[in-house]
């Protein structure tokens, strides 16, 4: 992907969010729409679902609890289903007769992944490009979940310099793409006050916040489970003065400086501020909110004999680097 002409055409500066949107979701050259081939051992990165069925087993357990609370059999809605491994893990956990009675919808904006999900899921899965369409089909009542979704949304990035926050982006200088800062209006985030220290860089997933708000009115009852890497704001950037933006290619970590050259051919991500996600959920009056670590969420069902299960609940490790936000909504 040749970014320089695009940057120059936009006044020789684009935000980090705009860069990520192009690199990940551009119709012609975006990573998720054109160049991703798989997730897991043969891909650029792995997820919990590509290692073990542990998360699938736990989600089915919580789905049953949500169905009891709602007084009906809720359809599943998985957002950002990747290569379909989590859906297939849930299908295995449900068993033959459970699958026959379940409705499973998947939502993904990435064209290439939707095709893969439909192929892998077969008759068990119905795939939609937008959340609103899936909720309409579910009549607003659903068990909704996502694994590593917010981190996949384009993030804005800011640096604190000389007692003010500046937005970081990309510019072209002597034919090279460089980082450049600009004064821009700030989005809502808990990070600005806590991390106002000279040179500190932070990320804000404003695009996720807007997307989340857009479909809330269409969801009437059920449960929404979000699993992702990140922390509460208080500790998110501890010993991380350069922020958390990074890339992955063939399971190798890429620095921010390496990303422009590999745009469209690698994953790009940033850790999630769970304090911001909690604040979004709390705006939904009447919803019940619960926050916990992946370790505490999964440990009761983990198989001690499984190396993958032990890895997923390890502390320190995946067990405390990944966290879980649960939002329950009941009919008025």
So what's the pLDDT on residue 42? 56
Q: Is the pTM of this model over 0.85?
A: yes
Name the residue with tokens 């983990």.
302
Name the residue with tokens 């220290």.
197
Could you read off the pLDDT of 41-79 as tens digits, one per residue?
556 666 888 889 999 999 999 999 999 999 999 999 999
> Largest alpha-carbon pair distance within the chain?
64
So what's the pLDDT on residue 39? 64
Say which range, 47-61, 159-173, 195-209, has the weakest mean pLDDT. Answer: 47-61
The first and second tokens of residue 91, run together, are: 């299908």
So what's the pLDDT on residue 113? 84
pLDDT at 119 over 60: yes
230-268: buried (b, 16+ CB within 10 Å) or exposed (e) per residue? Answer: bbbbeebbeeeeebbbbbbbeeeebebeebbebbbbbbb
So what's the pLDDT on residue 1? 81
So what's the pLDDT on residue 90? 96
Nearest Cα to 77, choosing from 104, 108, 46?
104
Nearest Cα to 156, choosing from 15, 6, 3, 23?
15
Could you read off the pLDDT of 287-298 as tens digits, one per residue?
999 999 999 999
Name the residue with tokens 């804000």.
204
- Count of alpha carbons within 13 angstroms of residue 237, beta-carbon side: 25
pLDDT at 251 over 80: yes
The domains of the chain, with CATH numbers, are 4-329 (3.40.50.12710)
Measured in residues, the chain has a length of 332
Distance CA 314, CA 317 (A): 5
**243 SS3 class:** coil
Could you read off the pLDDT of 31-44 as tens digits, one per residue?
988 877 666 555 66
So what's the pLDDT on residue 46? 66
Q: Write the DSSP assignment of 168-186 as a string of letters.
A: EEEEEETTEEEEEEE--PP
Average pLDDT of the chain to the nearest whole number: 94
pLDDT at 100 over 70: yes
So what's the pLDDT on residue 70? 94
């Amino acid at each position: 992907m040749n970014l320089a002409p695009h940057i120059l055409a936009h006044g020789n500066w684009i935000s980090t969010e705009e860069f990520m949107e192009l690199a990940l979701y551009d119709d012609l050259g975006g990573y998720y729409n054109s160049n991703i081939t798989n997730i897991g051992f043969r891909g650029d990165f792995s997820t919990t679902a590509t290692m073990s069925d542990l998360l699938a087993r736990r989600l089915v357990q919580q789905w049953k609890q949500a169905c009891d609370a709602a007084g009906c059999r809720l359809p599943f809605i998985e957002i950002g289903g990747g290569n379909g491994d989590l859906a297939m893990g849930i299908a295995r956990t449900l068993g033959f007769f459970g699958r026959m009675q379940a409705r499973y919808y998947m939502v993904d904006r990435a064209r290439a992944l939707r095709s893969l999900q439909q192929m892998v899921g077969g008759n068990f899965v119905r795939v939609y490009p937008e959340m609103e369409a899936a909720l309409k089909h579910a009549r607003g009542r659903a068990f909704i979940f996502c694994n590593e979704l917010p981190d996949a949304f384009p993030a804005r990035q800011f640096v604190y310099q000389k007692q003010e926050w500046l937005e970081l982006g990309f510019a072209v200088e002597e034919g090279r793409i460089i980082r450049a800062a600009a004064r821009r209006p700030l989005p809502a985030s808990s990070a600005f006050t806590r991390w106002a220290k000279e040179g500190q860089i932070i990320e804000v997933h404003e695009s996720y916040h807007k997307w989340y708000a857009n479909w809330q009115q269409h969801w009437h009852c059920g449960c929404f489970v979000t699993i992702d890497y990140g922390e509460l704001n208080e500790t998110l950037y501890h010993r991380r003065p350069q922020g958390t933006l990074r890339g992955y290619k063939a399971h190798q970590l890429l620095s921010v400086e390496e990303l422009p050259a590999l745009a469209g051919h690698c994953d790009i991500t940033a850790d999630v501020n769970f304090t911001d996600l909690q604040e979004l959920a709390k705006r939904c009056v009447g919803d019940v909110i619960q926050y916990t670590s992946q370790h505490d969420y999964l440990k009761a069902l983990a198989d001690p004999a499984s190396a993958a299960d032990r890895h997923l609940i390890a502390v320190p490790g995946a067990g405390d680097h990944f966290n879980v936000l649960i939002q329950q909504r009941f009919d008025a």
